[in-house]
Amino acid sequence: MILHPKQLQILCQQAIAEDVGSGDATTLAIVPANLITSAHFINRQECICAGMPVVKTLFQELSSDVELIQHVQEGERCPQGTRMATIEGNARAILTGERTALNFLQRLCGVATITRRYVEALGNSKTRILDTRKTIPGLRHLEKYAVWAGGGQNHRIGLYDRIMIKDNHREMARMLGPDSIRLAVQACRNKYPNLEIEVEADTMDDVRAAADAGVEYILLDNMSDEQMTEAIRIIAGRAKTEASGGITLERLPRLRNLGLDFISVGALTHSAPAIDIGLDILS
């Protein structure tokens, strides 16, 4: 997934404005304007690296006299105590940006790390791990980038790039007639002929209706292993399958050979713990 430089710049400007306000009072009082220093980003627990482009952009917004030297690549596993990057240059800029840079880095490394655990739990299965839209508002592109860095794949970015007919949409569609899934799919095809369509299915009747309607994806929502096996048999290759709901790390070994195309996991973003990372000034 590509992070667009202009979007990163705007996001970092907003983050700096939020934290710095009228000025970093402590740093301005203590640190001479022309002092030069260096510091290392050190992780205090094992993680997958994600977010260095954000850190680089943040410090560039604070000062042109700061350089980030990255020692590990995005998506690389970092054992505890890894020197992930070195920041060199204007001391005021480094101290002012420290907390905000760490906030971004700790969050994104956390998302990448939990994603890697889910990916590895599938082993050599052809099933792929997907993220969801359960992201922090304003940070979706960054969090989906971190999922990508962790080895996962991105589901739709927003409401605009894929049709997804969920349970509440089906309730609304019942106003059109009893065959609500077929009618909803046809309405979406007519309105947005170039978008792929996914239907959330709760029952085997939903699965049959969605497959018969010719959708590209069918989401098997909160189904047991046995129900998903039956759903895959009914679909018979007519649509890609996605399992969602009740997905845990412990369950993945049982799902990896069912024949699912995708498993989407909201926990990659809504429950990822931050990684403990510090910025250590060199004395």
Instruction: Assign 225 to helix, strand or coil.
Output: helix
Enumerate long-range contacts of 172-181, CB under 8 Å, 24 or more apart: 179/209, 181/206, 181/209, 181/210, 181/213
The one catalytic residue in 98, 143, 198, 221 is: 221
The one catalytic residue in 99, 126, 174, 233 is: 99
Q: Is 134 in the active site?
A: yes
Query: What residues does 48 pair with on adjacent strands?
Result: 77
Q: Is 99 in the active site?
A: yes
The one catalytic residue in 44, 126, 166, 233 is: 166
DSSP per-residue letters across 114-160: HHHHHHHHTTT-S-EEE--S-S-TT-HHHHHHHHHHTT-B---SSTT
Distance CA 210, CA 167 (A): 13
**How would you classify the pairing of strands 240-244 and 262-264?**
parallel
Q: Is 200 in the active site?
A: yes
Residue with tokens 């006299």: 65
Among residues 135, 121, 133, 110, which one has the least CA distance to residue 49? 110
Q: Is 170 in the active site?
A: no
How big is the chain, counted in residues? Answer: 283
The one catalytic residue in 83, 128, 133, 134 is: 134
Rounded to an integer, what is the distance from CA 280 to the centroid of its chain? 28
Q: Is 24 in the active site?
A: no
Q: Which residues contact 17 (CB under 8 A, 6 or more apart)?
A: none
The one catalytic residue in 61, 200, 206, 242 is: 200
Q: Catalytic residue positions?
A: 99, 134, 166, 200, 221
